[in-house]
Chain A
Amino acid sequence: SLAKKVKEQKMANLVEEYFEAHSSSKVLTSDRTLQKFQKRRLNQQTLHDLLKSAPLAYAAEIRDLNQQHESLFSKWMLQLHLGFNIVLYGLGSKRDLLEKFRTSLLQDSVHLVINGYFPSITVRSILNSITEEVLDHIGTFRSPLDQVEFITKRFKEDSSLELYVLIHNLDSQMLRGERSQQILAQLSSLPSIYLIASIDHINAPLMWDQAKLSLYNWLWYETTTFNPYVEETSYENSLLVQQSGSLALSSLVHVLHSLTLNARGIFRLLAQHQLEKKDNPSYPGLSFQDFYQQCREAFLVNSDLTLRAQLTEFRDHKLIRTKRGADGVEYLLIPVDDSTLTNFLEKEDEDV
């Protein structure tokens, strides 16, 4: 009962820790930002190069670990053939392991590799590749459900068809949806489709309810590899890497340099206004009317129409965003974080 008591205490602690973590909305962290701290941001390519030059620690031990996992390959094959599907979990990328499994055992058989971490993968494309390449069926389906039905029928009719499906990161953003998991589960329940998948997210098992679990018929294997997630994280847009999607300082400067003086002035005006109000979290942006007024006063535009044309151009370059407020007035905002904006203004000042 002592152990029980200890366990209970631990549970109580856990609960308390949770509430402690979420009790106050006040955040006690320093206000330092990367902008001030850093000389330059790394981009994807330099990051990759740098990491390549850095040696991987404990390579020998990791290799041992992987060899240990590799000894299980023949067992996996047996279990796959007996109707189980295999799921790998544990720290570290399991990509190389699966790849090795593929090259060493699946060379002669039909197999399909799905890179779940690839951000534009969809269930539809998986199904298409099965129907088009494995089953040689040309034609489209109205819905994935029909497609699954077709696949099921074909596999049931033709017992000689066998397909190994390897899914890297079954829990990735694109595949974790309920419907896609349902479809994959249905596929995996077919006796002649053998599924072997890997998961990484700590909450990955939450994707599956009982019905799906029984369709999947998982056998869990812990394969902690400690391999770095090279491919998997290359798509993960990290905060610390320059993101291509959002606006960066360099592109801002680049675009504005190609504009007329007046247009630059207009943007400046808006930027300054936004920086003045940066401490106000509910600042909706500058309303069009006010902005027009200010631009007129600065002799930057002479009519409503010119300003609108200019703003349209900005919008095309994704330099500003318009938002309609509750009162129906159009508000203008620059979708760039404040520090970038400050830097930009400083730079402008230098130039002028």
Chain B
Amino acid sequence: QQIQEDMNKQLLDSLVSFLSRSHSDFREKTTEWTCEMKFREIPTAALVLGVNVTDHALTFRGLSDVLQDNITPYVALLEAKDCPGIKNLMQKLMGQLMSCDVDVDSLEDEDGVQVSQNRIRCSMASLISWYESVTKKTDSETPSKKRNSSSRHWQSPPVVVIFKDMESFTTKVLQDFIVISSQHIHELPLVLIFGIATSPMIIHRLLPHSVSSLLCIELFQSLSCKEHLSTIIDKLLLTSQFPFKLGGKVLQVLINIFLYHDFSVQNFVKGFQLCIVEHFYSQPLSVLCCHLADIKKRAYSLSHDQCENIRRLPSFRRYVEKQESGKQIELLTNDSFLKEETEKLLEDIHVYHENYVSILRCLHVFTSSLPKYPLGKQIRELHCACLENRVWETEEYESCLQLARMLNKTDLVTMLQQCVEILMSSSGKKFDKTVGKLKGFLTQFQDLEAEASQERDVSISSQKELQRKTDLYHLQKTLLELKESRRSKKLTKFEMLRFEVVDYIDRLVRKYLVPADDRTLHEIVYFNAAAVLRGHLNAAPRTALHTALNNPHWYLRNQALKCDGGGISNKAPDICIVYKLHLECGRLINLVDWLEAFSTVVMAAEEPNADAASSDHVDDIIHARFIRAVSELELLGFIKPSKQKTDHVARLTWGGC
């Protein structure tokens, strides 16, 4: 668990640093702009941030930090939920600005602190009528600000007010605030920043012309969340930095939640976090999921039980079956031998992964430029495809190869160069690259480049000659030569093609193997329980209720409950019977009929041991059970009491669910 928390922290840190980096240029721009503004109207920056509201908190925090650092202004962050009325808004604003003051001036005299405290108390006391108090507050605030700022800066710094979620503010509050502050713009230099989730149109919809004419709006666009996702996947999944990896299905689930539900990077990270927690909690061998340096130590400290666990892993069993019999026995009985073997295998996995990532990037360079993107445009799609099954067996891969064969032009060379670059950087970074083959490829590629450039030289020179010499004989001769050279060039193109094919087959078949299939002990590193993840993140409470009510057998393992063909046995729990009967009704349900139907069903179930003497009592009990079941259905939201007709309830669902 310690490791896991470490990992968690590591992960979050890297994520935060990445996010702040990605926003930095955007932030820089805004900052610069705030510095430059001159104030006649209220300068306003509209940040179009996209619908993933949950991710914006970080952006805004970063923005206000940057603004504060660059000596510019006092910054206040306002959220719609804190400002139901203009009074609250002003109070909040005041409070934040004052505390900003205190923060910034913390080294200065206590005078400022006292003043601010006074002011706050005063604002508390003066709740007589809101407009008066607001004007008073603003008025009284203004000189203090002036004084404060003029003592510190030669230029009065603007006061920035950030509206985090423009859409959820009430229009009246927003309008009033803008009108009020526009009155005081000369004494109090305000800058507004709106965070907009939808589109800039919303400004004009929320604010009438008279108000929006008081603003001088400039628009800023932030990165789309899809780009964020791909960078995050790049940073988190396609590195060898983290020993923990996601299986194909799990990744698919996470990406689907992102793309089809919420576009929220934060949720994606949460899902990833959950994967880590689940993995380290449920898999006893996850101790071994660590950096290469620690493997040895941990492998040796394994207990006997843990060794048994290793032996029980399906991938390990497959591995054992492939070995010769002497080694098999050793593996299955000798713990220390097993430990050594495990260590080797885990190192293999690490090496495999490093190779995998760099080759994946190469392949991505190839496939992402093909028309129609048979293997996907983004590297994450390629990653998923490779993780799920053998790529080279899929149709898409086949068509990729075909396309690549046809696409064989000079842009292919640039692609190859790109690949070389990737491989160069990766092989340069990772010293423990065991396969020397990369170098081989590199030289081959370089040859190719050299050849190509030579050819280009030749052709250029020949063309120059062509231009120079104008007599017919020479012309004919050079043209013939050119033709020949072209034929030979065709051959080199062919060569390139072959190259490629060799590349593909060679690399893919060797390194691109599916983790789940081919790697021994992959269970330690890969997390594959997609169903668990989906259940926890993207639950369907309605489906659960539906199955529980329709087939209680699913949960309560009792022979009596089993029944076939959509019906329900009369021995089911009361609520299931009542539910089933209610499904047969239309929009309104007569309680009396319902009760009778229920008692018929239940009586039939209890027929054998029912005695006529106490039928009255039995009646009462059935009645009571019915009442309980109905009120449970009401609690669950399937029905509600209706006033349309006496003793009727209305159904709130329709059809069979």
Hey, which bits of chain A sit against chain B, CB under 8 A?
Answer: 13-14, 17-18, 20-22, 27-35, 37, 42, 46-47, 50-51, 53-54, 57-58, 61-62, 64-65, 75, 78-79, 82, 84, 89-92, 145, 182, 199-205, 210-211, 213-214, 217, 219-222, 224, 226, 228-229, 232-233, 236, 238-241, 337-339
Q: Which of B267, B548, B648 contacts A29 (CB 8 A)?
A: B648
Q: Which of A29, A89, A90, A229 contacts B590 (CB 8 A)?
A: A29
Whether the pair A32, B590 counts as a contact (CB closer than 8 A) is yes
A50 to B618, CA, bound (A): 10
The answer to whether the Cβ of B654 comes within 8 Å of any Cβ in the partner chain is yes
> Chain B, 531-564, contact with A by CB distance < 8 Å: what is the 0/1 string?
0000111110110110011001001111001000
B599-657 residues at the A interface, CB under 8 angstroms: 620-621, 623-628, 630-632, 634-638, 641, 644-649, 651, 653-657
Whether the pair A34, B591 counts as a contact (CB closer than 8 A) is yes
B230-279 residues at the A interface, CB under 8 angstroms: 262, 264, 266-267, 270, 273-274, 277
Given contacts A29-B590, A145-B82, A201-B636, contact A238 B620 (CB under 8 A): no
Given contacts A199-B541, A220-B539, contact A233 B635 (CB under 8 A): yes
Q: Which of A30, A89, A221, A232 neighbours the largest number of chain B CB atoms within 10 Å of its CB?
A: A89
Could you pull out 28 A-B pairs where Cβ atoms are within 8 angstroms?
A: A17-B654, A18-B654, A27-B644, A32-B590, A42-B623, A42-B624, A46-B624, A47-B624, A54-B621, A54-B625, A57-B574, A58-B573, A79-B277, A82-B5, A182-B81, A202-B653, A203-B637, A204-B541, A205-B541, A210-B54, A213-B54, A217-B270, A220-B539, A220-B541, A222-B541, A236-B634, A236-B635, A240-B626
The answer to whether the Cβ of B123 comes within 8 Å of any Cβ in the partner chain is no
A27 to B52, CA, bound (A): 45
Whether the pair B634, A50 counts as a contact (CB closer than 8 A) is no
User: Top 10 nearest A-B pairs by Cβ distance?
Assistant: A220-B539, A17-B655, A214-B54, A91-B548, A89-B541, A50-B624, A61-B556, A21-B654, A233-B631, A29-B590
A224 to B541, CA, bound (A): 10
How far, in Å, is A67 (CB) from chain B's closest CB? 13
A182 neighbours in B (Cβ, 8 Å): 81
The answer to whether the Cβ of B293 comes within 8 Å of any Cβ in the partner chain is no
The answer to whether the Cβ of B39 comes within 8 Å of any Cβ in the partner chain is no
Whether the pair B537, A220 counts as a contact (CB closer than 8 A) is yes
Q: Which of A51, A90, A338 contacts B541 (CB 8 A)?
A: A90
B495-518 residues at the A interface, CB under 8 angstroms: none
The answer to whether the Cβ of B593 comes within 8 Å of any Cβ in the partner chain is yes
A37 to B599, CA, bound (A): 14
Given contacts A65-B555, A238-B630, contact A27 B593 (CB under 8 A): no
Whether the pair A222, B535 counts as a contact (CB closer than 8 A) is yes
When C-beta atoms are compared, the residue in chain B nearest to A142 turns out to be: B124
A53 to B647, CA, bound (A): 27
B452-504 residues at the A interface, CB under 8 angstroms: none
Q: Which of A21, A34, A65, A338 contacts B592 (CB 8 A)?
A: A34
The answer to whether the Cβ of B53 comes within 8 Å of any Cβ in the partner chain is yes
A201 neighbours in B (Cβ, 8 Å): 635-637
Hey, which bits of chain B sit against chain A, CB under 8 A?
Answer: 1, 5, 8, 52-54, 81-82, 88, 165, 262, 264, 266-267, 270, 273-274, 277, 281, 535-539, 541-542, 544-545, 548-549, 552, 555-558, 561, 571, 573-575, 585-593, 595, 620-621, 623-628, 630-632, 634-638, 641, 644-649, 651, 653-657
Q: Which of A89, A201, A204, A240 neighbours the largest number of chain B CB atoms within 10 Å of its CB?
A: A240
Whether the pair A27, B588 counts as a contact (CB closer than 8 A) is yes
A34 neighbours in B (Cβ, 8 Å): 591-592, 647
How far, in Å, is A34 (CB) from chain B's closest CB? 5
A236 to B640, CA, bound (A): 11
How far, in Å, is A257 (CB) from chain B's closest CB? 26
Whether the pair B651, A21 counts as a contact (CB closer than 8 A) is yes
A240 to B655, CA, bound (A): 25
Given contacts A18-B654, A64-B557, A201-B635, contact A228 B628 (CB under 8 A): yes
Whether the pair A239, B557 counts as a contact (CB closer than 8 A) is no
Whether the pair A210, B651 counts as a contact (CB closer than 8 A) is no
A54 to B555, CA, bound (A): 22
Q: Which of A17, A35, A57, A78 neighbours the largest number of chain B CB atoms within 10 Å of its CB?
A: A57
Given contacts A32-B593, A64-B557, A233-B628, contact A53 B587 (CB under 8 A): no
Q: Which of B538, B539, B624, B641 contacts A54 (CB 8 A)?
A: B624
A13 to B8, CA, bound (A): 46
Whether the pair A200, B544 counts as a contact (CB closer than 8 A) is no
Whether the pair B545, A238 counts as a contact (CB closer than 8 A) is no
Given contacts A33-B592, A210-B262, A210-B264, contact A47 B627 (CB under 8 A): yes
When C-beta atoms are compared, the residue in chain A nearest to B549 turns out to be: A91
Whether the pair B647, A33 counts as a contact (CB closer than 8 A) is yes
Whether the pair B592, A220 counts as a contact (CB closer than 8 A) is no
